[in-house]
A and B are shown apart, each in its own frame.
Chain A
Amino acid sequence: MMLSDAAIFSLRLSFLVAVTATFFIVLVSLPVAYVLARKRFPGKELLDIVLTMPLVLPPTVTGYYLVVFFGRNGVIGKAIYALTGWTIMFTWYAAVIASFVVSLPLMLKTARSAIESVDRDLIDASYTLGHGEFYTALKIVIPLSKKGIFAGMALSFTRALGEFGATLMLAGDLPGKTETMPLAIYSCVNSGNWPEANLMALVFVVLSAILLFIAGKFTRKTI
């Protein structure tokens, strides 16, 4: 049995959303994780709590706040709509934002712990050898944390691939437009299309198992 065109679209969209979200997650989380791991500043723990919150909140609550921020009348969405006449809601970009917010804490936690575990003497050695903090972070801290960073990337990607609740709230379930694979499985079950749901679920289980295996390998190596 083969996947239908709609299911293949959903699979491709899911990958596109997950890859894009993971790209931005890496871009944002590395400097943030570094700052959280190495710097002391007022409000550090509060920042950590806010960024980690989506890990424990129900995805619908995260989605609700995303709508509050990015909806047409939302804090940010209103400004975007006033400037461009366009809203991010019900587009695949919304799915990227939802996946980004929900998956960011996984990368942040793993990368922060990997950065914290870099031997302080190695960082000090780099300073005494004439290099500043940015160069040291680039040449010593990040390379020595790379296993934790890769583990975080794999976990975030897996989470982004399977994101459902927040995506449904912000991007909706529009077949051929914003319907990612988890949403497509939900729709198939709702409409009684069990064989298609079965096949998509199986594809998902296999993909997630592979990604978790990769993440686990990196995590074990880090420990």
Chain B
Amino acid sequence: MHLRVRINKRLDNFTLDVDWAMANEFTVLFGHSGAGKSLTLRMIAGLMTPDSGYIELNGVPLFDSQECPLVKPGAVKNAQRVNVRPQDRCIGFVFQDLALFPHMSVAQNIAYAGKRKDRERVAALIESFHLKGLEGKLPSEISGGQRQRVAIARAIMCNPQCLLMDEPFSSLDNTLRLQMRALIKDVRNQLNIPVVFITHDIYEAYTMADKLIVYNNGKSVQTGTPDEILSTPRNSSPQEEEEGKRKKGAAPPPFRTPCKGSWTP
């Protein structure tokens, strides 16, 4: 299992030009706000179209600006490109603001991703993500951590081949963040699929990543394990971030805090 991304997109005052690949691992995209991390995820999910390049998941092209004979059903193909529609890409996406449907209950939000006869799967996910008793509640009636769990359960409901997470913990306090980090790692280990996770928290990046991809001004400037990148940074951003936080007196959190209950499928 692997994900290969080489895309170019020109916007007003910003150009995204990235090239990276990942195996079946937990990859963190790290960089300042506006570096192009979220844009990359949206293009992998098919929510935006690159100007050129290609995106390939497990050997299947999801986007290719050159003509390609391998076209999945549902792909929009003209003389020049392959562009599989987002609904046909089989990629789970957890949005920064979670994007839970406010008019649907917890159970309906999770079930939305599946077929009508998937009640058992919904029940299993509700059980696994410790959402029992909250099935009938609206997203506005549950806590931030619970909403987070609903969003992750919903994203994996349709058995995605890859999971994309766009700063999903940005609105959580430190305690909840620690719990959610552990939960995400458990989910990744159980599903055994590539996970791409965005953060601009260096501690989060360091503790969670199998592979770290550093973004700067629309480019992927360095790729490697967290240790490799922190020991030989080609771009000073991660160290600057760390230094900056230390100067402000922020205590580094422990690397891993166990979740209240581990996730099981």
Contacts and interface: CB of A to CB of B under 8 A. Distances in A.
Given A127-B87, A131-B87, A122 B46 contact: no
A32 interface: no
Interface stretch (A74-82, A139-147, A203-211): A139-147
Contacts of B93: 124-125, 128
A121 B46 contact: no
B: interface residue count bin: 20 to 34
B76 interface: no
A117 to B, nearest CB: 13
B194 to A, nearest CB: 15
A60 B88 CA distance: 52
Contact of B99 (A121, A130, A132, A139): A121
A33 to B, nearest CB: 19
A223 to B, nearest CB: 16
B101 A128 contact: no
Nearest to A139: B112
A131 B158 CA distance: 11
B99 A119 contact: yes
Given A124-B86, A139-B112, A143-B103, A130 B97 contact: no
Given A128-B91, A129-B113, A121 B86 contact: no
A129 B97 contact: no
Contacts of B88: 130
A128 B99 CA distance: 11
A144 B90 CA distance: 25
A129 B88 CA distance: 9
Most chain A beta-carbon neighbours within 10 Å: one of B42, B103, B154: B103
B95 interface: yes
A121 B166 CA distance: 12
B99 A125 contact: yes
Interface string A62-90: 00000000000000000000000000000
A127 B45 CA distance: 9
A20 interface: no
B47 A122 contact: no
Given A121-B95, A121-B97, A128 B47 contact: yes
Contacts, number: 57
Nearest to B166: A121
Given A129-B112, A130-B113, A130-B158, A124 B95 contact: yes
Interface in B94-151: 95, 97, 99, 101-103, 112-113
Contacts of B91: 128
Contacts of A126: 101, 112
A125 B99 CA distance: 7
Given A128-B93, A129-B113, A129-B158, A122 B101 contact: yes
A132 B46 CA distance: 13
Most chain A beta-carbon neighbours within 10 Å: one of B85, B99, B103: B99
Contacts of B157: 129
Nearest to A146: B103
Given A128-B91, A129-B158, A130-B87, A122 B99 contact: yes
B36 interface: no
Nearest to A128: B93
B92 interface: yes
Contact of A132 (B87, B101, B113): B87
A116 to B, nearest CB: 17
A144 B103 contact: yes
Given A121-B95, A139-B112, A127 B86 contact: yes
Interface in A101-128: 119, 121-122, 124-128
Contact of B86 (A128, A139, A140, A144): A128
A127 to B, nearest CB: 4
Interface in B144-176: 154-155, 157-158
Interface of A: 119, 121-122, 124-132, 139-140, 143-144
The 4 closest A-B pairs by CB, nearest first: A125-B99, A128-B93, A127-B86, A129-B113
Given A121-B97, A124-B47, A130-B90, 10 more contacts: A124-B93, A125-B99, A125-B101, A128-B47, A128-B86, A128-B87, A129-B155, A129-B158, A139-B112, A144-B101
16 contacts: A124-B86, A125-B99, A127-B46, A127-B87, A128-B45, A128-B46, A128-B89, A128-B92, A129-B155, A130-B90, A130-B113, A130-B158, A139-B112, A140-B101, A144-B101, A144-B102
